[in-house]
Chain A
Amino acid sequence: MASKPARPRSPHLFSGPMQIHYRWSPAMTVSIVHRVTGTGMATVGTLLLVWWLAAIAAGPGAYGVFLDVFTTSTGSLNILGWVVGVGLTWSVFQHMMSGIRHLVLDTGAAFELKVNRRLAVLTFVASIALTVAFWLFLGIK
Chain B
Amino acid sequence: MGTEIGRVRGLGSAGHGAQHWWHHKLTAGSNFLLLVWLLTSIATLPSYDHATVRIWLQSAWVAVPMVLFIASVFYHFRLGLQVVIEDYAHKESRFVLTVLVTVFTFATAGTAIFSILKVAFGAAA
Contacts and interface: CB of A to CB of B under 8 A. Distances in A.
Interface size class, chain B: 20 to 34
A23 to B, nearest CB: 23
A67 B43 CA distance: 17
Contact of B112 (A49, A63, A138): A49
A41 B69 CA distance: 14
* A interface, over-half SS: helix
B35 interface: yes
Contacts of A67: 48
A78 B78 CA distance: 32
Interface stretch (A6-14, A53-61, A109-117, A121-129): A53-61
B35 A96 contact: yes
B84 A39 contact: yes
Interface in A84-122: 92, 96, 99-100, 102-103, 106
Given A39-B81, A63-B53, A138-B43, A92 B115 contact: no
Interface of A: 35, 38-39, 41-42, 46-47, 49-50, 53-54, 56-60, 63-64, 67, 92, 96, 99-100, 102-103, 106, 134, 137-138, 141
8 contacts: A38-B84, A46-B74, A50-B115, A54-B112, A56-B115, A59-B125, A60-B125, A102-B28
